[in-house]
Amino acid sequence: MNASDRTPADLLRSALAADPARPLVTFYDDATGERVELSVTTFANWVAKTANLLQGELSASPGDRLALLLPAHWQTAVWLLACSSVGVTAEIGGDPAAADYVVAGPDGLEAGLACSGDRIALSLAPLGRRFPAPPAGYADYAVEVPSQGDRFTPFVPVDADAPALVVDGTELTGARLVERARADAAELGAAAAGALRVLSGRPYDSWAGLSAGLYAPLAAGGSVVLCRNLDQLAPESLAKRGESERVTVQLTD
């Protein structure tokens, strides 16, 4: 990746320029049998649409805070990069009452109602399906995002030294996040661009989970096999998955 990249959104732009067709995020949900593979191009398209929803429809701007009440999921990864694209601070498991916006999955809907700003709900169902009816107090992400533009340009340049992420009670700027992701990628053995493919069963509620399941592979020009409900998979099936997905590092702790 480019040495000049200072935000997660910068890393994604570099990945898109380097090899847009390669896989970036492969997602498994072992409770539903779902498998989704997103190339860099497809992932970036989802990020652009979501960033346009944030900036254009919700009027989000740099410095705003978004409570992200979602598990490890490919759509969570999309929201993290969309927040970075706009300059919004994503707070993992943040307090909805103190946030300008909340984005919640089924398990976070009740808590998210404490947010006085706009609320977006994700069904997290296979194929990104809509809710049968939008949850009370929420807009359905699957209804709102398809009509958004496929290209995104921020109204205001994103400051790499401004807060980008809050996790484990620690606030990270975009630049610090990228720095930590690069260091983690090096520890995982990212000797060559694109060579790192991480299978991660870690939740997204810690830096270790976010780094393994998104930021370190992205910083290395690699990819991630993100697994949810991995405890429902037999050990022999996990080994086969690692082989079939050609992973170089497996992190299931």
* Residue 21 contacts residue 42 (beta carbons within 8 Å): no
Report which of 188, 51, 68, 74 is spatially closest to residue 180, judged by C-alpha positions: 188
pLDDT at 1 (0 to 100): 63
Rounded distance, CA 109 to CA 227, Å? 23
- What is the rounded distance in angstroms from the CA atom of residue 242 to the CA atom of residue 9? 28
Q: What is the pLDDT of residue 194?
A: 59
| Burial (0-12, 13-18, 19+ Cβ within 10 Å), 61 | middle
Please give the chain's pLDDT, 253 residues, in tens.
Answer: 677 899 999 999 999 999 999 999 999 999 999 999 999 999 999 999 999 999 999 999 999 999 999 999 999 999 999 999 999 999 999 999 999 999 999 999 999 999 999 999 999 999 889 999 999 999 999 999 999 999 999 999 999 999 999 999 999 999 999 999 999 999 998 655 558 999 999 999 999 999 999 999 999 999 999 999 999 999 999 999 999 999 999 999 8
Instruction: Indicate the SS3 state at residue 174.
Output: helix
Q: Which domains does the chain have, with CATH numbers?
A: 8-251 (3.40.50.12780)
